[in-house]
Structure formats: C-alpha cells, structure tokens
Amino acid sequence: MGRSNLSGDLWGGLAATLVALPASIAFGVAIYTPMGGAATAEGALAGLIGAAVIGIVAPLLGGTARLVSAPCAPAAAVMSALAMELTARGLEPARVVMLMTLVALLSGGLQVLYGLLGGGTLIKYIPYPVVTGYLSGVGVVIFLKQLPGLLGLGPGVHLGEALRAPGTWSAPALVVGVATMLFMVLAPRWTKTVPAAIVGLAGGCGAYFALALRDPALLALEGNGLLIGPLGGAGLAAAGEALSARLAGLGGFAAADLGLIVTPALTLSALLSIDTLKTCVVVDALTRSRHDSNREMRGQGVANVASALLGGMPGAGTSGATLVNIASGGQTQLSGLLAGAFALIAYVALARVVAWTPLAALSGILIVVAYRMFDKGSFRLLRQRSTVLDFLVVASVIAVAVGVGLIAASGTGVALAILLFIRDQIRGTVVHRKVQGNQLFSRQRRLPEQLAALKRRGEETVVYELEGNLFFGTTDQLLSELSADVATRRTMILDLRRVRSLDLTAAHLLEQMATRLEERGGRLLFSNVPKSLPSGQDLRAYFDEVGLVRPESHVKVFPQLSDALEWAEDRILEEESLVTADEGPPLDVNEIDFMRGRKPETARQLAEAMETRSYAVGEPIFRQGDPGGEIYLVRRGSVRISLRIGDAKEFHIATFGRGDFFGDISFLDAGIRSADAVAEGPTDLFVLSRARFDELADKHPRLGQQVLGDLALALARRLRHADEEIRVLEEA
C-alpha cells in the first residue's frame, strides 16, 4: 500500500468516525430510553460499542472497499419499537435487554445465512416503492419518537398531553435541540471539512452550557435528566464483563419468548441488509468498483453478532459516513477498519465526555437524520397517472409503519411487492413480435416459383414471439391478443426463446388454443422451447408432464424458429405440388436454377470444369475456418449451413436443396469458410473451384461474364429477401 493510500485511509476513517459516532450514541439512547432510569446511559454505551465492534469486524470480513459500518436508523427504529412493546408488557429492564440481545443475535445469524444461500443478490431486487416507503416510515417513526426528547419531557408524560400543555416542556431542552438542528443544517454552508453532525452536536452543547451560566443546576451530572449521565463501566475490561453478563443472561431464555423475537429479527435482518447493499451500490457507482453482496452479508452478520454479545447495538453499512470517507480520501477497506478503531478509542477514552452530552442535542441530530431519510421526491409520483399506484404503495407502507408498527409494515411491504410484480407483468405485453408467414421465411432456400407460392399463401401462417412470464396474471392478455388468429390461421407458431416462466394456467390456455386449431385442421407449433428457465424450470419436460405435447394432440416442438417455419412451408408446397424431391436422378448443370437456359456447348464446358462429389447423411462438406475457393451446386439431396457459437450452440443459417447453390462467398473472395456445411441426406454436388473457373473464363471471357453475372443476380435476390425480413422484424 502506498503512502498516499495510507494517508487517505487515515483521514477518511477519522472523518467517517466523526460522522458515525454522534449518530451511534443517539441511536443507542433512542433504543434504551423507553426503559427509563439509568438505561439512557446504557444506550449511549451500546451505541459506542456498536460503532467500534461493527466498524472493525465488518470491514475485515465483508471486504467492500471504503464501506463504513456503524449503528443505523433502521436498527434504532426496530429496536426502540421492540423496547417500547416489551416495556409496556411489564417486563423488567434486564429481561428486555436480554430479549433485544437475542433479536440482534438472530438477526445477525440470518444475515450470515442470507450470504451463505446467495440471498445477498436477491435482496437488491425488492421494488423501489417498497424500500423508499419503508425507509421513509422509519424516518417518520424516529421523528415522532424523538419529539419527547426534543421537548425535554419527563418520564410518563405522553407526547399528546405535552402538546396540549406546553407548560410541561423543558425550555432548556427545546433551546438545545433547536440549536443542534440549526447548526447541523447550516454546517455545510460554513465548512466542508467538519461533518455536520459534529457541528450540530457542538452547537447543542454550546447552547446547553450557555444556559448553564444562568442556571448552575444544569452543571450537575448526577440526577440530571437533561444529560446522558455517567456511563458506568467503559473500556476493554468492561467489555469482557459485558460479554460474560450477556452470555449469563441468555440462559434465562424460554421457549415462550420465541414468538416475541422472531418477527423483529426477520424485519431487522432485512432492513440492515437493504441498508448495507444500498450503500454498496452507491459506492460502486462512485468508485467504479463492484462489491460481493453475499460476502458483505456474511461479514455484516458476524459483526452484528459480535456487537450484540459485547453489549452493542446492531448496524449496517451507512451511506453518510461512507460518503464522507470517500470524499476525505478513503481508498481501501482499511479506511472502514480505521473508522471502527477510532470509535474504539472514543469508547475507551471519552466516556466521561460523552456523559455530559445533552439528550436534546441527540434528539435534534436524529430529527435531522429522520428528515433526510424521508423521501420527499416520492411526491413527484403523484404528477403522473402511471405512477400514482407507486405513490400509494409508498404512502401505505409509511402509514402502517407509523399507525401500526414497523413489524406490520414489513409484512405490508412484502405483500405490496408481490402486487407490484403482478401489476408490472399484467401491464407489460407478453407478445414481443408478431410476423406473418409471407413476411418471414425459413432458412430452407426456395426456388423462385416456390417462394412465389409461399408469399401468396403466407398469411395462413402466423408467428408470435412471446416474452416475459406466462402465468395466471397474463393469460387473459395472451388470449385476447391471439384469439383472432386462432380462429383464422392454419398454422400458429409460438416462439418461446424470451419466455422466463410458465405456470399451469398458461399451459392450460395453450392446450385450449391447440384444440381449437385442430378442430379447423390447423396446427400449433412451438420453437426455441427453453430447456432451462431462469427459475430452473425445464420447460420441455414441463410440457410433457402437463400433457401439452402428446402424440394425439399433433402439437409439434422444433428446436429453432426456422425449423417450424420450414414445416409450415412444406405443408403449403405439398398442397401446391411444388415440393422439391431430394431423391431422384442427379441434376445436370443446366438444370441448376441459376445455370438454366445456357447453350448445350456452354453447359458442357462448365460440366467439364467441375468435379462431382457425393456425401452420406451427416457427412461434413466443409467446416467453419476451412480454406475456401469453391462453389457447390446441389444435384441431389440437401445441405444444412450452420454457424457454431461456442462449444455447443449451433445457429441454423440456411438449408440448400436440389437445384440450388452455396459456398458463393468464399468462391468470390477466396476467404476461409464462415460456417459449417453438412449433408442432411445422401447428397450429390457439382463443385467448381475458382482456379478452374478462372482458367475457363480466360479461354471464354463471355462465358465467365455470364456466369458471374447470373451469380450476382442470384445473390442480389437473396440479399433483397434478407433485407425484407430484417425490415419486417424491426417493424414488428
């Protein structure tokens, strides 16, 4: 590591600590305040311990460069709600602390499990309206819970009563809290070096001690409800004692307590994971890096377990401290580790200083944090009809979080995420492209009279390329779009290459469509049926299991769209008596399509310049990458041209039958072969090398000009045909 990197990590870690430490203390106080008495100081200590332990362990195991982990707002919201609920049940503070420790341990364990099972990737796909609604709800909950601290209300004074009776407020607390908020909001205008939270805390403390000049009673530490008060044991020895006490307290856990901790632990694990991964995504965008979501989940989980055992509160990768770290020069994960180390120093050395922190100042800091957590931009969703439903999702999650609780809001969020998914699937079309049979043709090269017949009767065939998820929510849309063609077309081809999932409802609909087509003598064909969908489903096997593809149904499945089109085309050509037989006597030179009409002498000269070759079924004629320079005229049989992609995948380019030609590109430019050519059946060919042709053209220039001219005309027709197909596919 270079000296510049070490310096950047040092200053970045220090700046991040200055941001994270005041908030960590405030979060800890917010969690423990509902228990009253000396719990406030215990909460401050828990915030300090959490900042130190999570700050050190998470960078060591998570590995995301520049990420700073510390106690966070979602943890404060969930844990303070739990503390209030358990206290309201009449539980003793020691038992409440034990249950909160178990919630933190279980939550950390769940995060480790998420990482081991690959859930770190899945958590990132929770819909944005649900995430922003939840985090905004957390902000509102924190705001409401910090108002009593801002007003300096004593124990047992309800916020509603206090608002109706301003005489119950503490004027010094209100002054300190307002001063803290003003300094924190105005700090960015005064300095870019000192974090806003430090400026706000300094302003609040300054206001408190200024008031103390007029009221000396404010300078008393013991029994002063406006200050955190003595923290008790702080230091490494105290941490060891805390670990022993926690382990001993866990022995009082009973099976009946399980119902009290499972839901909060699940909620907390999801929120901490989302908060961490959201910050990691921001870091990736700013630094052009890429984090390992699952590794980070495991590291964060272990860090939260360690913090809980040592008496600290849970936390996550926090965006505020992380952004300050990056802006201050942090380069590697060492910067995050140093942020935790500086928090540890503060825990050991600054306990007496922390004791003099005004509670109203911490409430002021959290109120500003809560305000910034609330997504004001979500109101923009009301401007467009298409996003009104998204705003209602955000508002619903916030309302449940405030009116019922964060735990209920988590269930609401999951339910709404499912509804959003179904809404998006129904709103989007499942038909990617629709093309008629006279616009798109198979890779089987057809002679001019055959092509004319296919264009004339091509409307009897329709191709639908489907996409997305075919399930109960989209089957009605699919039926509406396909019903008219089911009633009129003879052949319907469904290309499934873009399909991501298919359920029994969709399979039943496809079976009904096949039956309706068969009643009219029509056929339903499938092409590009995925063997493995993103969900892991084997769609080919599923079709067999549900009985969609069975001998009596006449439903056919083809590996590629071209194969399905070829089957439909052959059906039309059979009825038109235009099928080119692969069998029969081999053709002469003047019977090849682009050689027809030549004088007998010219045909004889060309035949003498060519050699004849025969190939068995499946025998390669040439391979991709082979040297070229020869053109092949099909006298009998057919040849399949395929492009190899990778080791296993094959793309069907064209099939040339009796009377056609191939190999023209290499014949013209003498380059290597760009694809494979394999005989599909017993095949006889005329082979004309460029060298023999040049010799013939030197002796008979007019003959050479005619052959090249006819070849150019045939290629021009093919190119026009290809251009027309491209235009159709782009417009469809």
> pLDDT class for 632, splitting at 50, 70, 90?
very high
CA distance 333 to 13: 10
DSSP string for residues in 357-381: -BHHHHHHHHHHHHHHHS-GGGGGG
Find the helix packing angle between 39-62 and 293-309, rounded to 10°.
150
Tokens of 476: 């009605």
> Does position 725 have pLDDT exceeding 60, yes or no?
yes
- 3 state SS of 232: coil
> pLDDT class for 610, splitting at 50, 70, 90?
very high
> Does position 176 have pLDDT exceeding 70, yes or no?
yes
Amino acid (1-letter code) at residue 21? L
Across the chain, what does the average pLDDT equal? 82
Name the strand (E) or helix (H) holding 614: strand 611-615
Other C-beta atoms within 10 Å of 383: how many?
10
Q: Tell me the CA distances in angstroms from 514 to 106, 338, 565, one per residue in order.
A: 52, 67, 17
CA distance 572 to 570: 5
CA distance 370 to 73: 8
For residues 71 and 325, the answer to whether their CB atoms sit within 8 Å is no
Beta pairing, strands 676-679 & 611-615: unpaired
Q: What is the pLDDT of residue 611?
A: 93
Query: Which of 225-234, 281-290, 331-340, 542-551 tops mean pLDDT?
Result: 331-340
Residue 413 makes CB contacts below 8 A (sequence gap 6+) with 126, 130, 133, 134, 397
Q: What is the pLDDT of residue 647?
A: 63
Average pLDDT over every residue of 252-261: 74
Query: Of how many residues is the chain composed?
Result: 732
Per-residue DSSP letter, 227: B
Q: What is the pLDDT of residue 239?
A: 55
> pLDDT class for 105, splitting at 50, 70, 90?
very high
Beta pairing, strands 431-436 & 676-679: unpaired
> Does position 303 have pLDDT exceeding 90, yes or no?
yes
Query: Which is higher by pLDDT, 288 or 237?
Result: 288
> Does position 84 have pLDDT exceeding 80, yes or no?
yes
Domains of the chain: 3-154+221-376 (no CATH), 428-575 (3.30.750.24), 589-731 (2.60.120.10)
Q: What is the pLDDT of residue 4?
A: 56
Residues 635-663 pLDDT 10s: 999 999 988 876 667 788 888 888 888 99
Q: What is the pLDDT of residue 166?
A: 57
Q: What is the pLDDT of residue 494?
A: 93
Can you give the three-state secondary structure of 169-193, one letter per residue? CCHHHHHHHHHHHHHHHHHHHHCCC
Q: Is 370 exposed, middle or buried (0-12, 13-18, 19+ CB in 10 A)?
A: buried
In angstroms, the first-to-last Cα distance of the chain is: 56
> pLDDT class for 374, splitting at 50, 70, 90?
confident
> pLDDT class for 304, splitting at 50, 70, 90?
very high
CA distance 319 to 274: 12
Average pLDDT over every residue of 318-325: 81
> pLDDT class for 246, splitting at 50, 70, 90?
low
Average pLDDT over every residue of 59-68: 89
Tokens of 329: 């020069």
For residues 526 and 558, the answer to whether their CB atoms sit within 8 Å is yes
Amino acid (1-letter code) at residue 320? G
Q: What is the pLDDT of residue 286?
A: 72
Residues 571-606 pLDDT 10s: 999 888 887 665 678 888 888 877 777 788 888 888
Other C-beta atoms within 10 Å of 237: how many?
9
Average pLDDT over every residue of 426-450: 82
For residues 45 and 241, the answer to whether their CB atoms sit within 8 Å is no
| Percentage above 90 pLDDT, the chain | 17
> Does position 158 have pLDDT exceeding 60, yes or no?
no
CA distance 78 to 307: 16
Residue whose token pair is 């609401």? 412
What are the beta bridge partners of residue 444? Answer: 655
> pLDDT class for 250, splitting at 50, 70, 90?
low
> Does position 302 have pLDDT exceeding 90, yes or no?
yes
pTM, to two decimals: 0.59
> pLDDT class for 383, splitting at 50, 70, 90?
confident
